[in-house]
């Protein structure tokens, strides 16, 4: 198969290109040429800007496109309109963030998607991200009706993740010492390893599948305790895991998801965030490696980076130590005996 990758040198795109080459596909990568330009010498490289200069794509023809980096509808519109007659199949990697209301567990692909009052806005932020992704989906379907595969992943994790949204846990636990773990150990978590997503996406493309699919997981109940335990096992660390009540953290302005990744408060507005219905994708063969493998491989990759590198926007060790001291004082003076959730060590 002649495959065009829009984006292909960072994280999900990188894993997808790697898998496509291993599967024997003829791969062309279209990027700005700014990241990892020496990757994949066996692939053809085209340089441009999908939100501006698409001239390198003119005159080309491919069996399929996989677009891993569409965020602005104008760029998706320009790309799909330019190539509508040059390709047979288009895959757009979207996000479960297209759903504006994740308060209800079991959201499936039929749920309403987010909208934005000004559809020309191009600033991607927390407020606009989901709606812009939804508009990108719609732009692709308009240009290539019936030929689009839309995949809506949840949190994508694994080696080469530049965000540290998951890497934080194996990285921090490997450092040892007392580690804050937020909320309940049994809180559900939904993630997908980028390699599992890449492999399944390619199989869907090869089969010519179209339509919309939620794609997160795994296909069993994953909990925060399991992520922590896998991090302890992978690192061999003797870290002391201190489960700290989320009301304590919120009172002290610890930011969920940002300061402490994977954590969202146990409140009604987030009840469905880690309970998205992905049975449609499961039925099409989406499978998952173990969390232990994902954690071990993520840690192994993380250890190839600078030892003193900072974790993107995450809680500092100094702030963590300060919070742990305050938590210990609160537990010591509490008239109620400490609960397993408030003081457990995994």
- Locate tokens 């010498």: which residue? 41
What's the pLDDT score for residue 287? 98
Ranges of H-type helices in 103-243 = 129-143, 168-175, 194-206, 224-235
* pLDDT higher than threshold 80 for residue 308: no
Tens digits of residue pLDDT in 53-79 = 999 999 999 999 999 999 999 999 999
What's the pLDDT score for residue 338? 52
Q: Taking a C-beta distance cutoff of 8 angstroms, is the pair 129, 72 a contact?
A: no
Question: How, if at all, do strands 178-182 and 148-153 pair?
Answer: unpaired
Mean pLDDT for all residues in the chain: 94
Tens digits of residue pLDDT in 120-135 = 999 999 999 999 999 9
Q: Which of 179-188, 219-228, 328-337 has the lowest mean pLDDT?
A: 328-337
User: Degrees (nearest 5) of the Cα angle 50, 56, 62?
Assistant: 90
Domains of the chain in sequence order: 2-153 (3.40.50.720), 168-189+220-270+290-343 (3.90.25.10)
* pLDDT higher than threshold 80 for residue 341: no
84 pLDDT band, cuts 50/70/90, is very high
- Locate tokens 């569409």: which residue? 70
Mean pLDDT in residue range 292-320? 91
CA distances, 245 to each of 113, 183, 229, 319 (Å): 33, 5, 19, 16
User: Degrees (nearest 5) of the Cα angle 255, 261, 266?
Assistant: 65
Please report the DSSP string for 278-323 in residue order.
Answer: -HHHHHTT-----HHHHHHHHHHHHTTS-TTPPPTTPPPHHHHHHH
336 pLDDT band, cuts 50/70/90, is low
Terminal-residue alpha carbon distance, the chain: 48
What's the pLDDT score for residue 345? 33
| Tokens (6 digits) for 123 | 């600033």
What's the pLDDT score for residue 335? 67
CA distances, 218 to each of 73, 164, 195, 275 (Å): 30, 19, 13, 11
Q: Which of 41-45, 88-92, 149-153, 330-334 has the lowest mean pLDDT?
A: 330-334
HSE, side-chain direction, 13 A CA sphere, residue 112: 5
- Where on the phi/psi map is residue 243: left (φ > 0), alpha (ψ -120 to 50), or beta? beta
% of residues, the chain, pLDDT over 70: 97
Q: Which residues pair with 212 in a beta bridge?
A: 150
Mean pLDDT in residue range 165-183? 96
Q: How far apart are CA 273 and CA 222, in angstroms?
A: 13
What's the pLDDT score for residue 342? 38
* pLDDT higher than threshold 50 for residue 344: no
* pLDDT higher than threshold 90 for residue 329: yes
CA distances, 190 to each of 102, 114, 215 (Å): 13, 21, 10
Q: How far apart are CA 206 and CA 235, in angstroms?
A: 37
Q: How far apart are CA 149 and CA 206, in angstroms?
A: 11
* pLDDT higher than threshold 50 for residue 174: yes
Predicted structure pTM score: 0.94
What's the pLDDT score for residue 58? 96
Tens digits of residue pLDDT in 22-41 = 999 999 999 998 889 999 99
Tens digits of residue pLDDT in 190-214 = 999 999 999 999 999 999 999 999 9
């Amino acid at each position: 198969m002649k495959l065009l990758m829009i984006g292909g040198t960072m994280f999900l795109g990188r894993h997808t290109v790697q898998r496509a080459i291993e599967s024997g596909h003829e791969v062309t990568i279209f990027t700005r040429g700014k990241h990892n330009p020496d990757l994949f010498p066996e692939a053809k490289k085209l340089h441009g800007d999908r939100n501006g200069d698409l001239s390198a794509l003119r005159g080309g023809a491919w069996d399929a496109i996989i677009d891993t980096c569409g965020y602005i509808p104008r760029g998706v519109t320009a790309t799909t309109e330019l190539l509508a007659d040059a390709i047979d199949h288009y895959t757009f990697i979207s996000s479960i963030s297209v759903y504006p209301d994740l308060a209800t567990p079991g959201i499936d692909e039929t749920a309403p998607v987010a909208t934005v009052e000004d559809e020309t806005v191009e600033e991607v932020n927390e407020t606009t991200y989901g709606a812009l992704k939804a508009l990108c989906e719609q732009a692709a379907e308009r240009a290539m009706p019936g030929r689009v595969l839309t995949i809506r992943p949840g949190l994508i994790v694994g080696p080469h993740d530049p965000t540290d949204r998951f890497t934080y846990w194996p990285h921090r636990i490997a450092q040892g010492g007392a580690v804050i773990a937020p909320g309940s150990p049994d809180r559900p978590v939904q993630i997908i390893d980028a390699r599992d997503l890449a492999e399944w996406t390619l199989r869907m493309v090869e089969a010519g599948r179209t339509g919309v699919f939620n794609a997160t997981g795994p296909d069993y109940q994953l909990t925060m305790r399991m992520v922590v335990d896998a991090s302890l096992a992978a690192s061999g660390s003797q870290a002391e895991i201190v489960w700290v009540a989320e009301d304590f953290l919120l009172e002290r302005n610890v930011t969920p998801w940002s300061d402490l990744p994977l954590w969202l408060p146990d409140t009604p507005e987030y009840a469905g965030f880690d309970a998205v219905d992905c049975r449609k994708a499961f039925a099409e063969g989406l499978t998952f490696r173990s969390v232990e493998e994902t954690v071990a491989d993520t840690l192994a990759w993380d250890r190839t980076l600078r030892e003193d590198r900072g974790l993107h926007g995450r809680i500092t060790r100094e702030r963590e130590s300060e919070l742990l001291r305050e938590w210990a004082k609160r537990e010591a003076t509490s008239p109620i005996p400490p609960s397993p959730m408030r003081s457990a060590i995994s």
